[in-house]
Amino acid sequence: MKLGEIVLKGLNRSSFEQQLLTNVRYRLSRIGSFHVSIMQSTVYIRPTDAQAEERIGEAAEAMCLVYGVVVVCRAAECEKDMATILKLLPGYCKDALLGAETFKVLVRRSDKKFPFTSPEIAGEAGGVLLDAFPHLRVDLEKPDMTVYVEIRDHAAYIHAGRLAGAGGMPVGTGGKGLLMLSGGIDSPVAGHMLAKRGVRLTAVHFESPPYTSERARQKVLDLADAMSARCGRIQLFVVNAAPVMEALRDACQEDLFTLLLRRMMMRISCKIAAREGCECIITGESLGQVASQTMKSLAVTSAVCDRLLFRPLIGMDKEEIIQIARATDTFEISTRPFEDCCTVFTPKHPNTKPRLERLEAEEAKLDFEPLLDAAIEAAERIVVGGGNRAD
Ligand code: ATP
Ligand code: MG
């Protein structure tokens, strides 16, 4: 018998399960020593030493953030013996039941050889709990708390109170994507949305020292680190865009500067995506949000993208985006003051109806390919999220 288990309920398809296990193990390796196994579509996590036992609550919280997990339960595991189960029940369910007025016992008996039927187990268990907590009443329709007794093949489990998991698909089951990560509110949300569909993220951030500061870079590292709680390990490429920006500023018409820079950033991102095996590019753009996100502006940026381009926030209001940013713990970081390279040489009158031919004519004034290659060559590769397991 052992106390303090976590039971996760997730997906039931085998390759998804394997990826989920890898992701769960990776997250737990940052907390303590746990044994992780899977049976009947349920992931079992057992602390293997006293230190891990102590951090079981933290582990349960971390598991609620792992995509692919639907429900997290802390459970007591014990022998499949009626007397043992009944003895364990009041103590284990005490915290959950003291705050409740009504309860019911729900029995799942997947081991059909167990010598008592589900109604018999529920009756006995309910009786023991009513004796132990006289303030309680049974309510089968709408109880404040449901106590679960599960008789499985290998052991019995008791749990009361469940935590909601993040849902979605395990990261790594949906291919690889390159997230263009600025320091703003939108791009981390865009990243989370694709990660929740199983996409493993690699990120690229453009900085432009000395116009942007060390603080701005740190902010992006902190954002990526916060994202890794849900998205797993993230490889982040930090690209110095200053030489490209200076070349554009010196050679091209001012009103087109932002869009020309966007196209250069997109070209660099596509080259990195090709090298890193990322099948798509992800941005935090939302229609009409700023001058560079009109339909025409988005079209001229898409025109230089040679792979699938996802803009998951395209139809969302800022408020809706902020809600997700708060729920995924990036809002606080994103709202720290900072300067983004896109705001450095912002034109006084940005063009919102750009013609592709004009942009191409401006770009023809530059021999930009060597500049892009040099920027990629000099990019810094940073792994965010700790640990060193390839998950
Ligand atoms: P965000 O809150 O994500 O910064 P925004 O509303 O500020 O978005 P823009 O600055 O126009 O909008 O950026 C649009 C998208 O372009 C961003 O969501 C991001 O995907 C990408 N992007 C912008 N700046 C950078 C940057 N410095 N590095 C990487 N990607 C960037
Ligand atoms: Mg931005």
Enumerate helices (H) and strands (E) in the chain, giving the number of each.
14, 15
Whether residue 80 contacts residue 157, with contact meaning beta carbons closer than 8 Å, is answered with no
**Residue 187, SS3 per DSSP:** helix
User: Does ligand 1 have an atom closer than 6 angstroms to the CB of 216?
Assistant: no
How confident is residue 390, by pLDDT bands cut at 50, 70 and 90? very low
Whether residue 210 is preceded by a cis peptide bond, meaning omega within 30 degrees of 0, is yes
**Higher model confidence: residue 95 or residue 330?**
330
User: Does ligand 1 have an atom closer than 6 angstroms to the CB of 180?
Assistant: yes
User: Does ligand 1 have an atom closer than 6 angstroms to the CB of 206?
Assistant: yes
User: Does ligand 1 have an atom closer than 6 angstroms to the CB of 184?
Assistant: yes
At 1 the pLDDT is: 36
Q: What letter does residue 374 receive in the DSSP assignment?
A: H
Tokens for 380? 């810094």
Q: Point out the least confidently predicted range of 9-23, 26-40, 159-173, 336-350.
A: 336-350
**Residue 150, SS3 per DSSP:** strand
**20-29 average pLDDT score:** 94
**6-33 average pLDDT score:** 85
Torsion from C-alpha of 373, 374, 377, 378, nearest 10 degrees: -150
* Phi, psi at 239, each rounded to 5°: -110, 130
Tokens for 381? 């590769």
Query: How many CB atoms neighbour CB 315 within 10 A?
Result: 9
Residue 6 above 90 pLDDT? no
At 39 the pLDDT is: 83
Distance 334 CA to ligand 2 centre (A): 10
How confident is residue 40, by pLDDT bands cut at 50, 70 and 90? confident
At 237 the pLDDT is: 98
Residue 234 above 90 pLDDT? yes
User: Does ligand 1 have an atom closer than 6 angstroms to the CB of 362?
Assistant: no
At 308 the pLDDT is: 98
Q: Which residues contact 131 (CB under 8 A, 6 or more apart)?
A: none
Distance 182 CA to ligand 2 centre (A): 5
User: Does ligand 1 have an atom closer than 6 angstroms to the CB of 241?
Assistant: no
At 73 the pLDDT is: 93
**152-180 average pLDDT score:** 93
User: Does ligand 1 have an atom closer than 6 angstroms to the CB of 283?
Assistant: yes
Enumerate residues with CB within 5 Å of ligand 2 (an ion): 182, 184, 340
Distance 262 CA to ligand 1 centre (A): 9
Which pLDDT tens digit goes with each residue over 95-117? 999 999 999 999 999 999 999 99
Whether residue 85 contacts residue 156, with contact meaning beta carbons closer than 8 Å, is answered with yes
Distance 51 CA to ligand 1 centre (A): 42
Distance 221 CA to ligand 1 centre (A): 15
Distance 319 CA to ligand 1 centre (A): 17
Residue 9 above 80 pLDDT? no
- The number of the ligand nearest the C-alpha atom of 341 reads 1
At 42 the pLDDT is: 87
Ligand 1 atom nearest residue 179's Cα: 20
Query: How many CB atoms neighbour CB 272 within 10 A?
Result: 20
**Smallest CA separation from ligand 1 atom 31, residue:** 182
- What are the CA-CA distances from residue 174 to residues 16, 55, 260, 271 (Å)? 10, 31, 32, 21
Residue 387 above 50 pLDDT? no
pLDDT cut 90: percent of the chain above it: 83
Distance 288 CA to ligand 1 centre (A): 14
Characterize the bridge pairing of strands 34-39 and 42-47: antiparallel
Strands annotated E in the chain: 2-9, 34-39, 42-47, 71-78, 102-109, 137-138, 145-151, 156-160, 162-164, 176-180, 200-207, 234-240, 280-282, 308-310, 380-384
**Smallest CA separation from ligand 1 atom 26, residue:** 182
At 342 the pLDDT is: 63
Write down the residue that tokens 């081991």 correspond to. 111
Which pLDDT tens digit goes with each residue over 205-225? 999 999 889 999 999 999 999
pTM: 0.90
Question: If we measure between CA atoms, which residue out of 17, 20, 25 comes closest to residue 41?
Answer: 17
Residue 388 above 50 pLDDT? no
Ligand 1 atom nearest residue 239's Cα: 28
**Smallest CA separation from ligand 1 atom 13, residue:** 285
**Higher model confidence: residue 41 or residue 196?**
196
Write down the residue that tokens 């940005």 correspond to. 350
Residue 5 above 70 pLDDT? no
Write down the residue that tokens 């268990």 correspond to. 125
Question: If we measure between CA atoms, which residue out of 43, 41, 99 comes closest to residue 66?
Answer: 43
Sign, CA dihedral 372-374-380-383, equals: positive
At 380 the pLDDT is: 97
Which pLDDT tens digit goes with each residue over 307-324? 999 999 999 999 999 999
User: Does ligand 1 have an atom closer than 6 angstroms to the CB of 240?
Assistant: no
Q: What letter does residue 198 receive in the DSSP assignment?
A: T
- The number of the ligand nearest the C-alpha atom of 292 reads 1
Ligand 1 atom nearest residue 292's Cα: 11
**119-129 average pLDDT score:** 97
Distance 181 CA to ligand 1 centre (A): 7
At 386 the pLDDT is: 60
At 268 the pLDDT is: 98
User: Does ligand 1 have an atom closer than 6 angstroms to the CB of 224?
Assistant: no
User: Does ligand 1 have an atom closer than 6 angstroms to the CB of 338?
Assistant: no
Question: If we measure between CA atoms, which residue out of 145, 202, 140, 199 comes closest to residue 169?
Answer: 199
Terminus-to-terminus CA distance in the chain, angstroms?
A: 32
Q: Which residues contact 206 (CB under 8 A, 6 or more apart)?
A: 182, 239, 240, 241, 265, 268, 341
